[in-house]
Each structure stands twice: as structure tokens, then as C-alpha cells.
Chain A
Amino acid sequence: MGPPLSLGRGVGDEPHRHASASGATGGSASAAAGSPARRLPAADQLRAGPDHRDGDVHHCDVVVIGTGAGGAAAGATLAEAGLDVIFVEEGAWHPTSSFSPWLSETLPRLYRDAGTTLLYGRSTFLAAEGRCVGGSTVINGGMCWRPPASVLAEWAARIGPDFGEAGLDPLFARAERDLSARPQDPWSVGGDNRLMAQGAERLGWRHDRNHRNHDHCVGANTCILGCVTGAKQSTLVSYMPRAMAAGARALTELRVDGLCIEGGRCVGVRGAAVDRRTLQSSARVEVRARAVVVACGAIQSALLLLRHGVGRPSGQLGRNFVTHPNAKVLAVYPDPVRAWQGVSQWGQVREFHEQGIVLAENMGPPGIIAAAVPRLGRAAWAAMQQYDHMILSGVLVEDTSSGRVRRGPFGLSWPSYSITDRDLAQFLTAMRRLCELHFEMGAERMYLSISGVDEIRHPDQLRQLTPDRIRISQMELFTPHLMGTVRLGADPRTSVVDAAGALWDLPGCYVADASLFPTPIGVNPQITITALALRVADRLAETLRLATGRAPRSSPVARSSSVPA
């Protein structure tokens, strides 16, 4: 085994505590790779699953639940403001050097429920959520779009001018700078992206280049598997190293199952370590803090708060769940496209954005493509022989309805969401457009994510894609964008948290993730999540500083106490 990959510039130098201090579940990562340790933070900054002991109690200024686009940004801001921050993360800390192209390994490592999270409705469909340090930023495409002006105008009208285009501009700019949001370099662009852009050009459609959060992306196209080069600036390689450098600590593989509420105030969280082999709860752990920041995503944040009956003034907790569902078109070309090489989504077709429709390519590894081909056995094998000729592309449709997150029977989480008849018409229109583009560029046939619709080989077949022939239940949808459920607002009668991200009815508890969104935004949400989280963290840091004069800072070791069970 050779030396581990070192990517320089601090990227890839993120801490990777790997195993139990007792060595019961594994040895040193560096030792395993046969090389000396790289620059790691002090070991007591990161406590992983087997290291948790029953009865452990940690103390800090702020405990942040979650390390994704919102949690990591908020935690880094708070830590850099001099506050003592502890992150609690249900997943593990997987360094860039551990990422691989294999789904069988990646899905259990990085995805909640190994990628099987379901949204229940007229068309039950899959939702992807990260469950690792870095959260969904580790497995997303890295698109950095600000919400359209019309969305921010509505936010300003609902909440106040701070949430309008001008009010949020400094926060967006800061997030974009922190995450290195920029266009792609030419050598990272693969054949599928060029084809989509040229197809759009021929049809006279607008095609915009994405700004993506990357530092020298070279088009490995493993965004959804964890970026193997470390180029994608997920919070794993951006905000988390900053937070750790500022003295934050992380408790990983620790599942929070409740808030500590005393005297009507939130004073911490409690949870249980996750056993690596059985995924069952083990050691009970508590973190006491002056403030709690909930940032575990639109589903998990709502479920956590619902356990405590908060959000009562408005009854909105768990509601306003929006998802930007998308549907796929798998096109097969006569020539090899090698769409698996090159960055995911160099650009997007935005000709129909005013109608709430965005088109883009989104190629995946063979395991994902096989699931998109409606064939089995030898027929699937025959189709997969042309993997190199395939382009997976998708349509993203802006929500016109919303769902709800609740606790379901038998301990299930129960996020419900249904597209409307209008959405169905939008999807079918968008899929016809996407097929037109592929036919324009010479595709031989297409598979659509519509159950019961066989392959499309001729443009005339697109006429069958109408709402009177296709039912909502036939749509095989998917979403990586989960938003709403803990709506931010100016009025406790219509929202769950105030403009500072604080729960209206639970002092000491703040929210800093996608669940804050007052409305759907119609674009990839990462940069908006980060901008809102920075705002929440700025105000919280100021509040805590004012309360004590100056936030104390002590050594990581002295700040934790372990209480025997």
C-alpha cells in the first residue's frame, strides 16, 4: 500500500479520526496506509462512535447538531467568534482520501438510510440526504445559485428588507467566497455537458454556466460519491477544517434523540452513539450548552423539534415541506459520450426557468444507470453494454405545493409530499423538451423515469407524454433538495422561528439549515442555506458575547467530563 494522497493547500488535510481509542475497531488510518500521520488536529477534538462512553457529558457555549451546508457554516462562524463549539454528527468523519467510486461502499457510508429515504405521496419517491461530516454537501453536485430576485422579493415582503436581494447580498457574497463558488475550468467539462450546451444553442434555448463550489475541479465526476480529488468545497473540506482550527470539537456517530429543556429553556442535547456494525444506539451522551443550533436538514430537524411539542404558536412545524422533485431522461447515443467523465452539471438549460423548469445532465456510475433502465436480466445487460453511450439528464421542477414531515407508525419518519396535477403537466412538458434536445443532438433512444412508458425512439412518441395519458403515480421522481418545515418569519402566528433563527417558543434553540426556507427557491439550495446559517450564527455570536462580555476559551481536554455510568 502506497502513501496516502495529499492534496496540498490544506485540502484533504481534514481530520480523520478513524477508530476507537482502544483500537477495537480499527487502527490508525495513516498506519493502515503505511505512512506517517498528516497534519491532524488534536485527537481530543474529534470523538468518534466507539470512543463515546455511557454517561459522557460535554459542556460548551454552543452545540451544533449537523455539519452540512448550514451547521458547519454556523459552527465555524461561532468558533471563529471565540465561542466554544461542539458539533454533533450522526454520521462519521470520512476524509477525502477514503472516497471511492463504489456505490456499495459509498451509500452505507455517506447516505442516510443508504440512500433509501422515501417521501410518501401519490408518487412515493426517493430523497437523498448525506449522513456524514459535511452532510449533503459531500454528496451533492455543488451548484451555487442564488435564489431568483422574485423569490427574495417575496421573502422581503414577508419578513423584512434584510431578506431581500440587497439585504442578503453580503451574506451570499461571503458564502460564495468561503466556498469558492466559480465557473468550471475547461479541462473539467465532459462530452455530455458540451452536448447539452450545443443542443440548447441549436434550439435557441438559454444555457447558463453554473457557479460551483470548487477549487480546481478537474471533472472526476464523483460528486455524488464524495469528491475523490477534494476539489468540491463541501463543508468537509471548507467550513469544518476552519471550525476545527478555531478550536471546535466534533462528536461523530452520535445520534441526537432529544433536546435538554430546563425551566422552559433549551440547555443542551442528548443522544446515543451509533454502533458501527448494527447501527443500533449504544452509549448515552449529553452535551450541555448555552445555545443549541439545530441543523440536521428539513426532515430530521423537524422530527427532532416535533418530539418536544414546540412550534405550537403557529402549528407550522413540519409543514411547508418542499422538495424540488426531479425526473430523469436517460438518452442513448450512437457514439460513445463517456458522460461519466467530466464535471456534473457544467451548466443548466434555463430557457424555461420562468416557468419553474430547469434541465441539466446528471450522469452517474453504472449502478445508478442500471436502476434507471427499465429492464431486467439479459435485456438490462444488453442495454448496459452501451453505458459509454448514455447520458443521464434530468428536469427540475419548482414546487407548487408543499408536504409535511411527521412521525409515522412503527417509529418511521413520515415525510409526505405529492406533486400536483399542474406539476405533472410541468414534468411532462420538461421531459418532452429534454427529449427534443437529445433527438436534436442525435440520440437513438431514451428511457424516461415514467413507469409503464417504454423507450422513446422517435419524436412522434413524445405526443403520448400528456397529463391525460400519464398518472402522477407513474412518475418515478427523486430529490436531493429538502427544504421548509421550520419556516422562518416575522410573525409567530405563521412561522416557527424568528428572523434570527430562534424558535419563537423555545429560548436557547436556533435553527440553521434548509428547513428555514419560507418558500421554495427554484434553484439548488446550498448557497442559500449557508447564507441563512451565517446570518443566524452572526446574530447568535453577538447575543452570546453581549451576555458574557467575552466568550471564554479553554483547552479542549478541560472542557469535557466523562461521568461513569
Chain B
Amino acid sequence: MSGGPSPAPWLDLRPSQLQRHPADGWVLPDPMPLGAWTSRSLAGVIRAMLPIGAAGAPVDAATQAEVDLAVRVTLRCMQPPLARGLMLLFVLLDLAPMWAAVWRPRLGGLRRLCATDGPGAEARSQRDAELLEALSHCGWGALRDAVTAARAAILTAYYDLPQVQRAIGHDPLPHLRDRIALRQRLLQGGVGGPADHLSPSATEVAAWGRR
């Protein structure tokens, strides 16, 4: 990897800091305002989909707030009728323990996903995740698609967070800095060498098959 100062310092900025981008002054659209009920529903669905209780998983309130922000910005950018549909979906999923108890009694109950108070909250979160996962495999296509849409919106935002990426052992920035520096070198007449090749090498890859 190339040393020296970063050629693109803004790469270090977290998404939530990019309210106004230093390179072009672009502003992040305002998050979609939600009513109190819908807002709680969204928080409940987020919580049910995040890895609450998993070792090393960042799931603190600040992280959940960052996911909430990203989802609301997405809602703002969507076609308005679709955004309203997704908001309704969050409300329905928040109530899933009630209506899904009919066919998944073990996972259901008279509560909302957002009800996180009291003892056993962590265990409930795990059951809620199982419930939503069961819905995503159910026979009713519309319901399946609905859970898939919510999963995509929430998990895309969650696993995009730098602290979450670090926790799964991923940091794209050194690679990007190295590649930016390499291209600058090439444009200035340099030549790429073996050290510039991305690993694993062709020889390693060839050895993988038919183990």
C-alpha cells in the first residue's frame, strides 16, 4: 500500500457527516418527517432486523438512529406514493407479532415490535427477527416482497455504516487510497508492477478448485 497523506481526505467522512459535501456543496435531502406512531413503528422494525445481542455488533441507540436517518432520507427520495406504501408497511410489520400469531404462535404475541421495555427484551428481539424472516419465506408473495423491501432498506443502511463495517472486518478506505495513488502514478507515466496486483494471486485462485 502507498504511504503518505490521503489523496482524498473526504473518504474518511461518515455518511451522516455528509450533510454538505466538501467537494461539491451538495446537501443531503431532509429526512422524511414521520408521525409519532409511524416513527415508533420504523424504530421497532429496525430493532427487529438488527443483530441485537450478537457479539461485537454495534447496535447502540446512536447506530439505530443512523439507520433511521438513512431510511428516512430514502423515503424522501422515493416516489411519494411508494414512500407512503413503505411507511404503511413499517406500521404493519410493527404489528406483526399480533397478526402473525395466528400461524406462528411461538413467535407472536400481543405486542408491537417497538415494545422493547421490560425483561427478556433481547430474547424478544431474536424472536422478532425469526418472525420477520419466517414472513419473508411465506407463501403469500406480496407479504414476502414487503419484508424483502424493508430488509433491503434497513440492512443496506446498517451494513453501510463504517462502525458496522469495521466490526465485520471490512475497511474499504486503505484500498481506495492505494488505488487512487496508483492511478495517479500511472497517469504520470509510471508502470504497474507485481506489488500493484490485487490479491489473491492467480496461483492462489487456481489452487482453490477441487479441494
In the complex, whether A323 has a CB less than 8 A from a CB of chain B is: no
Q: Is B74 at the interface (CB under 8 A from chain A)?
A: yes
User: Are the CB atoms of A379 and B209 closer together than 8 Å?
Assistant: no
Q: B136 at interface (Cβ–Cβ under 8 A)?
A: yes
B86 to chain A minimum Cβ distance, whole angstroms, is 8
Contacts A102-B15, A187-B182, A379-B133 given; indicate if A337 touches B22 (C-beta within 8 A): no
A42 at interface, CB cutoff 8 A: no
Q: Is B186 on the interface with A (CB-CB < 8 A)? A: yes
Q: Which of A189, A191, A198, A384 has the most CB of B within 10 A?
A: A384
Indicate whether A222 reaches chain B with its CB closer than 8 angstroms: yes
Query: Please, what's the 1-or-0 string for A276-318, where 1 marks a CB less than 8 Å from any CB in chain B?
Result: 1111000000000000000000000000000000000000000
The B-contacting residues of A in range 102-137, CB under 8 angstroms, are: 102-105, 107-109, 113-114, 116, 118, 124
A169 interface hit (Cβ, 8 Å): no
Which chain B positions have C-beta within 8 A of A278? Answer: 29-30, 76
- B205 touching A378, Cβ below 8 Å: no
User: Contact at B82–A118, with CB atoms within 8 Å?
Assistant: yes
Question: Which residues of B have CB within 8 Å of A382?
Answer: 54
Partner-binding segment picked from A72-80, A88-96, A516-524: A88-96
Kindly supply a per-residue 1/0 record for chain B positions 80-114, scoring 1 wherever the CB is within 8 Å of any chain A CB and 0 otherwise.
Answer: 11100000000000000000000000000000000
Q: With A385-B168, A387-B169 known to touch, is A114 a contact of B152 (CB < 8 Å)?
A: no
B119 to chain A, nearest CB (A): 19
Q: Is the CB of A440 within 8 A of B160?
A: no
On chain A, the residues within 8 Å of B209 by CB distance are 198-199, 202, 440-442
Name the residue of chain A whose CB is nearest to the CB of B139: A452
Asked if residues B176 and A377 are in contact (CB atoms below 8 Å), the reply is: no
A370, B156: Cβ atoms closer than 8 Å: yes
Are the C-beta atoms of A340 and B172 separated by less than 8 Å?
yes
CB within 8 Å for A100 and B13 given contacts A187-B192, A371-B156: yes
Residue of B nearest to A413 (CB): B79
B193 CB → nearest A CB, Å: 8
Q: Tell whether, in the assembled complex, residue B129 and residue A92 are in contact, meaning their CB atoms are under 8 Å apart.
A: no
Docked Cα-Cα span, A452 to B138, in Å, equals 7
Q: Is the beta-carbon distance between A371 and B23 smaller than 8 angstroms? A: no
A29 interface residue, CB < 8 Å from B?
yes
Q: Which residues B22-66 have CB closer than 8 A to chain A?
A: 22-30, 48-54, 57
List, in ascending order, chain B residues with CB within 8 A of A440's CB. 209-210
Does B3 touch A at the CB level, under 8 Å?
A: no
**Contact partner, A229, options B136, B179, B197, Cβ 8 Å:** B179
- The reply on A166 being an interface residue by CB < 8 A is no
* Complex CA–CA separation, A94 to B10 (angstroms): 14
- A333 adjacent to chain B (CB < 8 Å): yes
A231 close to B199 (CB less than 8 A) = no
Tell me the bound Cα distance from A521 to B69 in angstroms: 40
Q: Evaluate contact between A379 and B160: CB separation under 8 angstroms.
A: no
**Contact: B180 with A228, CB < 8 Å?**
yes
User: A114 contacts B78, CB within 8 Å?
Assistant: yes
Q: Do A366 and B160 touch (CB < 8 A)?
A: yes
Docked CA distance A202–B136 (Å): 37
B30 CB to nearest A CB, Å: 5
Complex Cα–Cα for A356 and B187 (A): 38
B67 nearest in chain A by CB position: A104
Which residues in B have their C-beta under 8 angstroms from that of A195?
205, 208
* Residue of A229, A338, A340 ringed by the most chain B CB atoms within 10 A: A229
Task: For the complex formed, measure the closest distance between the CB of B41 and the CB atoms of chain A, giving whole angstroms.
Answer: 16
**Interface size counted on chain B using CB atoms at 8 A:** 97
**CB within 8 Å of B: which A368-383 residues:** 368-371, 374-382
CB contact between B6 and one of A2, A7, A218 (< 8 Å): that residue: A2
Asked if A185 and B22 sit within 8 Å, CB to CB, the answer is no
A219 is an interface residue with CB less than 8 A from chain B: yes
**Distance, CA A340 to CA B179, complexed state (A):** 13
Q: In the complex, how many angstroms separate the beta carbon of A339 from the nearest chain B beta carbon? A: 10
Residues of B contacting A384 with CB < 8 Å?
Answer: 159, 168
Closest partner residue, chain B, to A25 (CB atom):
B27
A33-B23, A377-B125 known; A7 vs B183 contact (CB < 8 Å)? yes
User: Which of A98, A105, A338 contacts B199 (CB under 8 A)?
Assistant: A338
Known: A195-B208, A228-B11. A277 touches B27 (CB 8 A): yes
Interface residue from A16, A218, A411 paired with B179 (Cβ < 8 Å):
A218
Contact A451 B148 (CB under 8 A): yes
A384-409 interface with B by 8 A CB criterion = 384-385, 387-388, 409
With an 8 Å Cβ cutoff, the count of chain A residues facing the other chain is 106
Check A388–B23 contact: CB distance below 8 A: no
Complex CA–CA separation, A26 to B20 (angstroms): 7
Given A104-B15, A371-B155, A412-B81; A194-B205 close (CB under 8 Å): yes
Does A186 interact with chain B (Cβ within 8 Å)? Answer: yes
A105 touches B18 (CB 8 A): yes
Chain B residues whose CB sits within 8 angstroms of the CB of A222 once the complex forms: 176
Interface residues of A in 1-60 (CB under 8 A from B): 1-2, 4-5, 7-9, 11, 16, 18-19, 25-29, 32-33
Contact at B29–A342, with CB atoms within 8 Å? no
Q: Is A466 an interface residue (CB 8 A)?
A: no
CA of A1 to CA of B70, assembled, Å:
25
**With A279-B29, A365-B172, A370-B155 in contact, do A198 and B206 touch (Cβ < 8 Å)?**
yes
Known contacts A98-B21, A218-B186, A366-B159: A124-B78 contact under CB 8 Å: no
A382 to B205, CA, bound (A): 25
Residues of A within 8 A of B14 (CB): 102
Is there contact, CB below 8 Å, between B24 and A376? Answer: no
On whether the beta carbons of B81 and A365 are closer than 8 Å, the reply is no
Contact between chains at A452 and B144 (CB < 8 Å): yes
Bitwise, A167-200 to B at CB < 8 A (1) or not (0) is 0000000000000000001111111001100110
Q: Using an 8 Å CB-CB cutoff, how does the interface string of A209-224 with B read, 1 for contact, 0 for none?
A: 0000000101110100
Task: Map CB proximity to B onto A330-374 as digits: 1 under 8 Å, 0 otherwise.
Answer: 000111111011100000000000000000000001111111001
Contacting pair A188 B198 (CB below 8 A): yes
State how many angstroms separate the Cβ of B188 from the closest Cβ of chain A. 7
Top 4 A-B residue pairs of the complex, sorted by shortest distance between their CB atoms: A377-B129, A26-B25, A18-B25, A381-B51
Q: Which residues does B use to contact A, with CB under 8 Å?
A: 5-11, 13-16, 18, 20-30, 48-54, 57, 70, 73-74, 76-82, 125-126, 128-130, 132-133, 136-137, 139, 141, 144-145, 148, 151-152, 155-162, 164-165, 168-170, 172-173, 175-176, 179-180, 182-184, 186-188, 192-193, 196-200, 202, 204-206, 208-211
Q: List 23 A-B contacts (CB under 8 A).
A: A7-B184, A28-B25, A33-B23, A100-B18, A186-B192, A187-B198, A202-B210, A218-B179, A218-B183, A220-B176, A335-B204, A338-B200, A341-B199, A342-B198, A365-B160, A366-B164, A369-B159, A377-B52, A377-B129, A378-B129, A380-B51, A412-B79, A442-B209
Please give 9 more A-B residue pairs, beta carbons under 8 A apart, in addition to A32-B25, A335-B208, A377-B130: A102-B18, A186-B192, A191-B199, A279-B29, A341-B175, A367-B155, A379-B133, A381-B57, A442-B208
